[in-house]
Chains A and B, each alone.
Chain A
C-alpha cells in the first residue's frame, strides 16, 4: 500500500465506520471511533460558532443533532474550520425537521454572511477625496466594493430575528420581509432601491447604471445616504 492509498482508506474509514481499514494497525483500530467523533464534534462546534442565531432559535440539542446530520452528509471543503458550514442554509431549507420554521434558512444565510464578513480579507477603503477628484467622470466610474459587503434579502424579518438574539426585541410581524446590508461586524436594514443600487455596483456596473437601477425600483431613490455609507464605512476599495 502506498501513501496515497493509505490516506484514501483512512479518509474512507472516518466516514464509513464499517469498512475495512488496513491503514492503521489492529491495535489502534478501536481508537478510530474517538478520532471520528472528535472530527464530528469539532465540525459541529464550528457550526455553533458560525450560526449563533440558528443555535438560539433551535436550542442546543436540536442544533447539535442537525449539525451531526449535516456534517455526515456534507464533506468538509477546507482545513480551516471557519469555513465549515457554507451549505447549511441550503441544508436547512430541505431538512425535514426544520420545515416547521420556514424563516430559519434565511436566518442561516444572514448568520453566514456575518461570519464571512468577519473573516473577509482586509482592504483599505478609498478616501472620499480620491472619489471627489473624479467628480467630472463620476457617471462612468465602477466602484470596487469591500469583499465583506453582502446583501441578504428575505421575505422574513431576518435582521430583527438576528437582533432579538443580540439584545433586541421579538419582531412585531413575522411576515414583514427585510433586506439586510452586511459588512464587517455590522449590518443595516435597507430599502429595495438602495439594495438594487448596491447590487448593481457589486456586479461592476457603472455608477450611472447603478443609480438608474435604484431609481427603477423607486423613482424617489436618493443615492446620497447610500454613497455616504459606503464612504464613511470605507467600503469602496478601488475605482475602475
Chain B
C-alpha cells in the first residue's frame, strides 16, 4: 500500500469506528441559546455606569497609564532582549 492508501484507510477506519459508536447525546453544557451573552456581558451593571451619566471626565490618553500592572509583568523576566 502506498502512503495515500494508508492515509485513506486510516481515515475510513476512524469514520467507521465513530459511526459504530452509539450516538452521543448532545452535551447540555455546550448547548447555546440565541441572544444569551457570555457571563457578565448581559446586564446593565456590566457597563459600570448609569446610562445617563459618565459626563465630563477627560478620557485623554496619558503616558503613565501605559504601565502594565497585569500578569505580563510576570512574563517580563522571561523575554529575551530583542
Contacts and interface: CB of A to CB of B under 8 A. Distances in A.
Are both chains from one complex? yes
Interface of A: 33-34, 37-38, 40-42, 45, 49, 55-66, 68-69, 82, 97, 100-104, 118, 122, 127-129, 131-132, 135, 138-139, 161, 164-165, 170, 174-175, 184-186, 207-208, 211-212, 214-215, 219, 221-225, 227-228, 231-232, 234
For the residues of B in contact with A, the DSSP-based class is: loop
Given A62-B65, A62-B68, A132 B3 contact: no
A61 B65 contact: yes
Contacts, number: 154
A164 B10 contact: no
B70 to A, nearest CB: 4
A227 B55 contact: no
Contacts of A231: 14-15, 18
Give the interface size bracket for B toward A.
Answer: 35 or more
Contacts of B24: 232
B4 to A, nearest CB: 7
Contact of A211 (B8, B13, B79): B8
B69 A62 contact: yes
